[in-house]
Structures are given as C-alpha cells and as structure tokens.
Chain A
C-alpha cells in the first residue's frame, strides 16, 4: 500500500472560517493533503477540531473559504459524481418513508441512467453485500442501529463510487456491532478497490482500519501528524491489535492528541 501513484484526491491550502459572535472563528487553517487512489485514510482529532468540516469540504457539501479540492485533477464544486458521503447520523440520513430497498435504490434512481431491472438487480446485489437480504421490505426504523448503518453503506456503494467519505460512521453503535461494521468496511474497501476517507475520534479504530492516519491539531487546525500505517493485511481484530507496531502507532497518535489537549500521557494512558 505504500507504493505511490499520482495524487488522486488532493486538498491544497484548505482554510475554513465561520462567522461567530464577536468575529470569525478559524476552523481549518491551511490543510494540505494528497490522498492516493485505493488508500484508506483516517482523519483523527479531538472533537471540534474541524475534521467533519474537512470531510464535508471534500464531499462538496460546503465550500472552503480559501483553497481547493481536486479529484483526478478536477476541481470539486458541489457533490462530485464519484464521491459518496456517509453520515454519522444514520437514523437521520436514511429516508424513513422508504423501505430498505427503496433507500438503497435512491442513488441509483437519481444518479445513473439505468433501467428498472438493472436498478433492482444492483439494489439486490448491494443489499446482500452488506448482509441484509430478507430485510428489503423493512423500514429503516424497524432495524437495529448497525443494520441501519449497513443500509446507508449499501446505498452509498450501490452507486459504485471511487471515493467513500465516512464521518464517524460507527460512533453511535455498540462495541460488538462496531467490530462487525469495521470488518465489513475493510473487506468492501479491499474487494471494491475504493478510496476511503474515514473521520473518527477513536485512535484505535483509525490505526486498525487504515493505511494512513492524519491527525488534525486544535483549531485553527492544520495537519499535526501524518502517519503511514504499515500493518500487514489481512488484519485481525485480536492479532493485529496486539502487534508491537500497532501499539507503537497507537501510542504516537495518542501522545499527539493528549499533548494537544494538555493531558498528561501517563495519566490518561
């Protein structure tokens, strides 16, 4: 994964300021990132550091104050066709009046010029990919949190995007469900050759999933640490997490976060 190809997703000098009471707040203060095709990049940072904002800028959902995002050399202004954003709040991002099937088909019906049969077939394919076969006619609110997030993932992947942007997608599910979803996303990433940018506040999750972890500092945020994760694939929830390299990555990133927060590493670790 370390072999480099030409920059695929590129962020240059991203600054984002928000008007606030008594002046402007600088959320992002010049973020530069080059993301290779096929990589799995996690963005970590303390809450409020602007990592979600950065992801939304990549998704074309909000505009940077200055700087620009390019995908394969094309400037991003508005949601690009080959990028899908998966929201943290799956309960709010799924359409409650649509069944699982209709939710998954949503992107296909609107983005692609496909026949009804092709849409139905592809919908079915991705529902089974996230192991929700048998739940096609259920409504999202009839499913557990983890299943709902799988619907959101299937809906995103059904459009066959090149880039999947995920904003703390597993932060609202229980620990075991989370492990299942991590494995699902890792295997889909490997099978489908996706480029994933994954925002999380969980250092362990970032290290375990990724080929590279980027840590943002406190606002006004810049890239504080940019760490390639050279752990072997396939990874294993127990064995990988016990590797000395894993612990080393984890330790370095945690130390960085604690330093940012002004916490003593010894006390918090």
Chain B
C-alpha cells in the first residue's frame, strides 16, 4: 500500500508549484496535521469545561483528567489494573489466533473440514459476544478463565475467516510448482500455503486485536474485581469522574500502541508482500 503512495508522491515535484507554495500545501499531508486536530479538540474541551458551559461534575477539565491520569500512573494504580487486563487479553488473543489459523488452514485445505465446520462457523460467528457472556459465566465462573475464553472465542472468527480466504486464494501455479519439486501434503501446507496466506492471516489478526480489546473491557465490566474495565466502571459508580476519564484515556493509549506495534511487526514479516503487490499492479 504505502510504497505506491510514496511512488506517487515522488512523481509529484515535476508538476508541483514552486517551493514555498509546495511547503504550505504539504503541511496537511503530514501526520502532525491530524495530531494538531486532536490537540485542538482537547483545547476546546478544556475551554468548555473551564467556562462552566457544561456542568463540571460529570465533565471535568481536560487538564484535571491529565493530572489525575498522571497521579494514577505514578502511584502505580493504573498499571496495577492494566497488567491483569493485558494478561487476559493476550492469553485469549493468542489462543484465538492459534485456533483461528489452524481451523482456517484445515478448512481451506481439506474439503472435509470445510464441509464439517463451515455451517457451525456461520451459526456461531454472528452472535455478539456480550450475548453469550452470561452462559460462559455459568460454566466458567467470573475468574480469568471466563475472560480468556470470551476473548479467545471472539478473536477466533476474524482470523479463521481470513485464513480460510487466504488459503483459497493461494496461486495454483505456486502449488503446482511445489508439487513438481516433490512437496506435497503437510509440507505443502506449511511451506507454501501458510506463507502465501500470511497477508490474509495478518488482516484477520489485526481485526481480532481490536475485538480482543473490546471483549476484555466488556467482560471486566460485567464481572471482575480487577482490570481496566472494572476500574472505569467502578470509578463511574463512585462518581470519580476524573478517574473514569483517565481509565478511558489509558485504553486509548493502549489501543494506539498495540496497533502501532502490530503494524511494525506486520511490516517486518510481510515486507515481501508490499513489494510483490506493487510489482503485480504495474
């Protein structure tokens, strides 16, 4: 994706206006333009709260939220809530991804598993995870097992479906090439199908990462005595409005950092894919 944009940008200067005009026009192309917009919105929040236009009980100043957030970080309270949350999230996420990849490969590669599992996948997949949360609590209680199960189950489907699509779209020429070199069966699955489907798998994993974060918070809000979801809800119930906002702010930061990390890993693992896609397009 990005290489083609860069290629377009590098072609621009030939027809672009003189330097000064170009510098002005480029500001809105940078990331800082959007960051500036966030700063502007936060400033508006600060002004709105400070002016008293909105009741300040449920709408604290942005600066007050930031101060509270910082205090909670320094005291270690927020990290204390974040650690169990992230542990649950990653435990569930990795279980879900592993199962999703394995089932997606089997369904894409073996007709038998497709026929067996496709209907049940389509029945289970549309159920919103909060809907089966009460059932899971009945069976697994309200401890970490329940949350990990919830997160794993919700993370599984995006990965499964994308892995399946990836396997189905492996180039038959690549499969035949491998066969002429004597690579068949499980070796073919491991050496050709899996790497070839990797771009699809990563797409699924990225969707699942967001899903895992959501389900983590939901399951902690419903039943928990620790975790960031629990922290936010109990802050709200105790009228600790600044703490509540600080918790949400923490989730925004966590979500952002996780996504950046994911993209960095994806770019590394799939470096070949971007170059290949550009070549295919030309």
* Contact of A61 with B173 in the complex, beta carbons under 8 Å: no
Given contacts A92-B171, A97-B196, A110-B187, contact A79 B182 (CB under 8 A): yes
Give the shortest distance, in Å, between A234 (CB) and chain B (any CB): 30
Which B residues lie within 8 Å of A194 (CB)?
A: none
* Contact of A110 with B180 in the complex, beta carbons under 8 Å: no
Which of A61, A91, A96, A141 touches B180 (beta carbons < 8 Å)?
A61
Q: Give CA–CA (A106, B198) in the complex, Å.
A: 19
In the complex, B56 has a CB within 8 A of chain A: no
* Contact of B180 with A85 in the complex, beta carbons under 8 Å: yes
Q: Give CA–CA (A93, B273) in the complex, Å.
A: 15
Interface residues on A, range: 20 to 34
Chain A's closest residue to B192 (CB) is A95
Q: Give CA–CA (A110, B278) in the complex, Å.
A: 30
Which of A111, A139, A142 touches B181 (beta carbons < 8 Å)?
A111
**Which of B182, B187, B192 has most A Cβ within 10 Å?**
B182
Which A residues lie within 8 Å of B272 (CB)?
A: 96-97, 139, 141
Q: Give CA–CA (A61, B178) in the complex, Å.
A: 11
Which A residues lie within 8 Å of B196 (CB)?
A: 95, 97
Q: Give CA–CA (A117, B177) in the complex, Å.
A: 24
* Contact of B276 with A139 in the complex, beta carbons under 8 Å: yes
Which B residues lie within 8 Å of A95 (CB)?
A: 174, 177, 192, 195-196
Kindly supply a per-residue 1/0 record for chain B positions 144-187, scoring 1 wherever the CB is within 8 Å of any chain A CB and 0 otherwise: 00000000000000000000000000010110111111110001
The residues in A between 76 and 115 inclusive whose CB is less than 8 angstroms from any CB of B are 79, 81, 83-85, 87, 89, 91-93, 95-97, 106-107, 110-111
Which of B171, B179, B181, B280 touches A106 (beta carbons < 8 Å)?
B181
Q: Give CA–CA (A59, B173) in the complex, Å.
A: 14
In the complex, B141 has a CB within 8 A of chain A: no
In the complex, A11 has a CB within 8 A of chain B: no
Chain A's closest residue to B194 (CB) is A97
In the complex, A207 has a CB within 8 A of chain B: no
* Contact of A79 with B180 in the complex, beta carbons under 8 Å: yes
* Contact of A110 with B279 in the complex, beta carbons under 8 Å: no
Give the shortest distance, in Å, between A264 (CB) and chain B (any CB): 38
Give the shortest distance, in Å, between B265 (CB) and chain A (any CB): 15
Which of B176, B182, B191, B275 touches A87 (beta carbons < 8 Å)?
B176
* Contact of A97 with B174 in the complex, beta carbons under 8 Å: no
* Contact of B279 with A141 in the complex, beta carbons under 8 Å: yes
Q: Give CA–CA (A146, B196) in the complex, Å.
A: 23
* Contact of B275 with A93 in the complex, beta carbons under 8 Å: no
Which A residues lie within 8 Å of B178 (CB)?
A: 106
Which of A84, A91, A93 touches B279 (beta carbons < 8 Å)?
A91
Q: Give CA–CA (A20, B173) in the complex, Å.
A: 22
Q: Give CA–CA (A97, B173) in the complex, Å.
A: 15
Which B residues lie within 8 Å of A97 (CB)?
A: 195-196, 198, 272-273
The residues in B between 48 and 84 inclusive whose CB is less than 8 angstroms from any CB of A are none
* Contact of A89 with B173 in the complex, beta carbons under 8 Å: yes
Chain B's closest residue to A148 (CB) is B279
* Contact of B176 with A107 in the complex, beta carbons under 8 Å: no
**Which of B178, B198, B276 has most A Cβ within 10 Å?**
B276
* Contact of A93 with B181 in the complex, beta carbons under 8 Å: no
Which A residues lie within 8 Å of B275 (CB)?
A: 96, 139, 141-142
Q: Give CA–CA (A159, B181) in the complex, Å.
A: 9
Q: Give CA–CA (A142, B276) in the complex, Å.
A: 8
* Contact of A92 with B180 in the complex, beta carbons under 8 Å: no
**Which of A59, A85, A141 has most B Cβ within 10 Å?**
A141
Q: Give CA–CA (A79, B276) in the complex, Å.
A: 28
* Contact of B180 with A59 in the complex, beta carbons under 8 Å: yes
* Contact of A93 with B276 in the complex, beta carbons under 8 Å: no
Which B residues lie within 8 Å of A85 (CB)?
A: 176-177, 180
Given contacts A91-B279, A95-B192, A139-B276, contact A110 B174 (CB under 8 A): no
Given contacts A96-B276, A97-B198, A97-B272, contact A110 B173 (CB under 8 A): no
Give the shortest distance, in Å, between A13 (CB) and chain B (any CB): 24
Which B residues lie within 8 Å of A87 (CB)?
A: 173, 176-177
User: Which residues of A are at the interface with B, using a C-beta cutoff of 8 A?
Assistant: 59, 61, 79, 81, 83-85, 87, 89, 91-93, 95-97, 106-107, 110-111, 139, 141-142, 159
List 5 A-B pairs, minimum CB-CB distance, nearest first: A141-B279, A96-B276, A92-B173, A107-B181, A85-B180
User: Which residues of B are at the interface with A, using a C-beta cutoff of 8 A?
Assistant: 171, 173-174, 176-183, 187, 191-192, 195-196, 198, 272-273, 275-276, 278-280
16 contacts between A and B (CB under 8 A): A59-B180, A61-B176, A61-B180, A79-B179, A83-B180, A84-B181, A92-B173, A97-B195, A97-B273, A107-B182, A110-B182, A110-B191, A111-B182, A139-B276, A141-B275, A141-B276
